[in-house]
């Protein structure tokens, strides 16, 4: 122990522990435009430079009726193969594929499997859930998707909730029921080598507002039982990653929303619930973040909160694309000014490497 303390002091004095641009690049999951790529295209170069992952979308927000990344099954298989070839290493290729309204792979884009919403699946029962989610896992594996940003662990507590409850994205009000169906989903994905993200920590089902659009305060509505699905599944040791929401809860942190809060990520998720895996932010281009923080502030706060992967979908605000080069420059500047530590970057890389190890 004494040896490592001495080495840490020497590293801080002489810069021996300087992190590489590849280590910094690994912290980000980015959206991009294109239904095919080359290794000399911008995203291809980002992958060669160490970008941690990509997120794929079906709809192009700038060209109505056009595909952004997903046109049809054959095209998607070619695209995911191109992405891996350019990366030359295990790569997180992510998609939001919950079922119901949140389905990037749908009949509209030529995929025959229609997965119902979480609420509909819960009504059909456990046997149906196992069957439909096993088929979904097989589909994702076949298409080269290895990271599904699902399942939803939110409780359907607020009937006026427009982002979770309205669309049937929750398995129900009862936390044990939600945990049960979340587990069925996760285990089905694991059978096909697909990683998952339990979301939206610490619970979005009691909210009245939409974090896509702006600040959402759940201080009065949020209930302790919203943590139950996370506690059950973390204890079971099957959680790959946890996605942290942008909701604000004064009882948990009087200053920052959950995704930017050390009290929520390091304190509640890691220390109280015992989660040692990768924490990923919800899309940091949502209005709850962009309307209150600059990009530099967002990166600093998200990393210092304890998040390991920072998600920028380049979908919600497509005219202001966030690039890997821009993000690396911001982190370099934060390191130079002592606003984040190299140890934080190394720690995040260690967790990400362990996650990627599941794909090998």
Along the 360 residues of the chain, how does pLDDT read in single tens digits? 343 334 344 444 444 458 999 999 999 999 999 999 999 999 999 999 999 999 999 999 888 889 999 999 999 999 999 999 999 999 999 999 999 999 999 999 999 999 999 999 999 999 999 999 999 999 999 999 999 999 999 999 999 999 999 999 999 999 999 999 999 999 999 999 999 999 999 999 999 888 898 889 999 999 999 999 999 999 999 999 999 999 999 999 999 999 999 999 999 999 999 999 999 999 999 999 999 999 999 999 999 999 999 999 999 987 789 999 999 999 999 999 999 999 999 999 999 999 999 997
- Distance between first and last Cα of the chain: 32
Write the DSSP symbol of residue 7. Answer: H
Q: How many C-beta atoms lie closer than 10 Å to residue 38's C-beta? A: 12
Q: Assign domain 34-357 to its CATH architecture.
A: Alpha-Beta Barrel (3.20)
Spatial neighbors of 204 by CB under 8 A, at least 6 apart, are 154, 161, 163, 164, 211, 218, 245, 247
The residues carrying an active-site annotation are: 212, 282
Strand intervals (E) in 150-277 = 195-201, 241-244
CA 30 vs. chain centroid, Å, equals 11
CA-wise closest residue to 69 among 142, 149, 144: 144
Write the DSSP symbol of residue 248. Answer: B
User: How far is it, in rounded angstroms, from Cα 35 to Cα 17?
Assistant: 39
Torsion, Cα of 69, 61, 204, 164 (10° steps): -90
Helix (H, G, I), strand (E, B) or coil at 58: coil
Rounded to a whole number of angstroms, the CA Rg of the chain reads 20
pTM > 0.85: yes or no: yes
CA-wise closest residue to 190 among 127, 238, 128: 238
Half-sphere CA count of 3, side-chain side, radius 13 A:
0
- 254: exposed, middle or buried (C-beta count within 10 Å: 0-12, 13-18, 19+)? exposed
Distances (CA, A) of 31 to 144, 161, 217: 16, 27, 28
User: How far is it, in rounded angstroms, from Cα 160 to Cα 256?
Assistant: 24
């Amino acid at each position: 122990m004494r040896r490592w303390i001495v080495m840490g002091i020497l590293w801080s004095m002489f810069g021996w522990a300087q992190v590489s641009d590849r280590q910094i690049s690994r912290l980000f999951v980015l959206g991009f435009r294109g239904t095919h790529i080359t290794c000399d295209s911008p995203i291809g170069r980002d992958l060669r430079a160490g970008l941690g992952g990509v997120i794929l979308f079906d709809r192009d927000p700038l060209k109505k009726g056009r595909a952004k990344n997903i046109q049809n099954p054959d095209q998607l298989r070619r695209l995911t193969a191109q992405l891996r070839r350019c990366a030359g290493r295990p790569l997180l290729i992510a998609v939001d594929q919950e079922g119901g309204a949140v389905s990037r792979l749908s009949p509209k884009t030529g995929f025959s499997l229609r997965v119902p919403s979480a609420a509909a699946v819960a009504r059909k029962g456990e046997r149906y859930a196992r069957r439909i989610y096993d088929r979904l896992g097989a589909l994702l594996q076949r298409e080269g998707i290895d990271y599904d940003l699902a399942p939803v662990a939110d409780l359907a507590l607020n009937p006026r909730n427009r982002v979770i409850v309205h669309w049937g994205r929750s398995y129900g009000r009862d936390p044990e029921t939600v945990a049960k169906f979340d587990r069925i989903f996760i285990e089905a994905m694991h059978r096909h080598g697909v990683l998952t993200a339990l979301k939206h920590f610490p619970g979005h089902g009691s909210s009245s507002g939409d974090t896509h659009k702006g600040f959402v305060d759940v201080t009065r509505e949020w209930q302790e039982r919203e943590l139950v699905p996370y506690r059950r599944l973390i204890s079971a040791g099957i959680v790959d990653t946890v996605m942290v929401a942008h909701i604000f809860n004064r009882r948990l942190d009087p200053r920052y929303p959950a995704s930017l809060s050390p009290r929520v990520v390091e304190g509640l998720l890691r220390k109280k619930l015992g989660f040692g895996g990768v924490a990923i932010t919800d899309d940091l281009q949502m209005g709850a973040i962009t309307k209150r923080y600059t990009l530099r502030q967002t990166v600093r706060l998200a990393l210092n909160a304890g998040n390991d992967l920072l998600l920028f979908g380049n979908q919600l605000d497509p005219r202001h694309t966030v690039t890997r080069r821009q993000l690396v420059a911001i982190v370099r500047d934060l390191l130079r000014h002592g606003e984040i530590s190299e140890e934080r970057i190394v720690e995040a890389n260690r967790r990400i490497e362990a996650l990627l190890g599941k794909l090998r």
